[in-house]
């Protein structure tokens, strides 16, 4: 598999990563542990070297799963995890008024030590702040991670869903290797200044939900229903009305896919990969056939003409529905 460098950080990973959250959290009940371990190890065999998890996924169970799966393959992979939520206060991070944040330096250290044990490793390759904590100056957060890097417990610092000003301030204290934000054909806010800032500073971008939480695969239509344990049941963009209105985007991907002998998911990923060489999407899946399909996107070539046609057609499509409820959207872009 091709390798991409995340900005100028020296962090090199496979051109596609694997988001592991859905194996334990958010997309329905946790999946069979043995099957997920086998899937993660097969991903390594297929050339994927970049795996994404977080303490809050579960909480804790996803890190434990990833740690067990990758322990025998540790020297071949890059593991990213995250801090920033107070799991003792709001362990599901989705209940009530919303998650409780905690990025105090002493808490960052506690999370790092616990994550190292769950991941069965002596170093965290990439340590993201999961959401910006307005109660803790980002300079203190960056300084805390800088100390962990100096101690050899962390290799690289990342931010997730941070605003441009926050990225600049953090980067001035401890170089930011990459920013993880949602980015896809149906959520393009990073194009409103963030991509330009990352390119200027030499920071990579790791798009999560590059397939629109499954919508851009073409497998979800207006008749779809979601279990109460599937967080899409709470998202405005997944109401029946929004799903119906947004089918135009899937139809666009389907038309291009037919011409390219590909699938809509592959076109959606190929479009992202064509944006910048320092972009590494992390599509999540719990199925081997879907993972193989996603890897197939690396063989899909979109010409400048193809990209122009996609841009022209997408510009005529208005995406309906917010991506998050207000309480969760308020945590982004700070």
Catalytic residue numbers read: 57
Q: Which two tokens stand for residue 240?
A: 């029946």
SS3 237: helix
Which of 36, 10, 14 is closest to 23 using CA atoms?
A: 36
Alpha helices (runs of H) in the chain, residue ranges in sequence order: 33-45, 61-70, 105-118, 138-150, 164-173, 194-201, 240-245, 247-260, 264-273, 288-296, 304-314, 326-329
Please tell me what DSSP assigns to residue 233: G
Maximum CA extent, the chain:
54
For 6, 8, 24, 160, the CA distances from 57, given in Å and listed in that order, are 24, 29, 7, 15
Secondary element (H or E) of residue 181: strand 176-182
Task: Please tell me whether residue 180 adopts helix, strand or coil conformation.
Answer: strand
Residue 160 tokens read as: 């997730």
């Amino acid at each position: 598999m091709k390798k991409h460098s995340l900005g100028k950080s020296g962090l090199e990973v496979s051109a596609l990563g694997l988001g592991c959250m859905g194996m334990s959290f958010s997309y329905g009940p946790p999946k069979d542990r043995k099957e997920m371990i086998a899937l993660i190890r097969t991903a390594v065999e297929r050339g994927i070297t970049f795996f994404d998890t977080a303490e809050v996924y579960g909480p804790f169970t996803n890190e434990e799963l990833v740690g067990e799966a990758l322990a025998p393959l540790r020297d071949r992979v890059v593991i990213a995890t995250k801090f920033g939520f107070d799991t003792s206060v709001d362990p599901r991070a989705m209940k009530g008024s919303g998650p409780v944040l905690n990025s105090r330096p002493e808490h960052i250290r506690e999370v790092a030590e616990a994550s190292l044990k769950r991941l069965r490793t002596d170093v965290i390759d990439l340590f993201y702040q999961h959401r910006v904590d307005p109660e803790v100056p980002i300079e203190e957060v960056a300084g805390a991670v800088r100390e962990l890097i100096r101690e050899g417990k962390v290799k690289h610092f990342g931010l997730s869903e941070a605003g441009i000003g926050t990225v600049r301030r953090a980067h001035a204290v401890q170089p930011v290797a990459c920013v993880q934000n949602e980015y896809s054909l149906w959520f393009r806010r990073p194009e409103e200044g963030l991509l330009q800032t990352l390119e200027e500073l030499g920071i990579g971008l790791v798009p999560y939900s590059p397939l629109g939480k499954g919508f851009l695969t073409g497998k979800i239509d207006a008749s779809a229903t979601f279990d109460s344990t599937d967080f899409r049941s709470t998202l405005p963009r997944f109401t029946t009305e929004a799903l119906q209105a947004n089918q135009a985007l899937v139809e666009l991907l389907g038309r291009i896919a037919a011409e390219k002998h590909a699938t809509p998911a592959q076109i959606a990923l190929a479009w992202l990969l064509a944006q910048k060489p320092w972009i590494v999407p992390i599509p999540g899946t719990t199925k081997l056939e879907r993972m193989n399909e996603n890897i197939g996107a690396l063989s899909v070539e979109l010409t400048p003409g193809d990209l122009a046609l996609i841009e022209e057609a997408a510009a005529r499509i208005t995406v309906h529905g917010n991506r998050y409820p207000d309480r969760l959207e308020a945590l982004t872009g700070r």
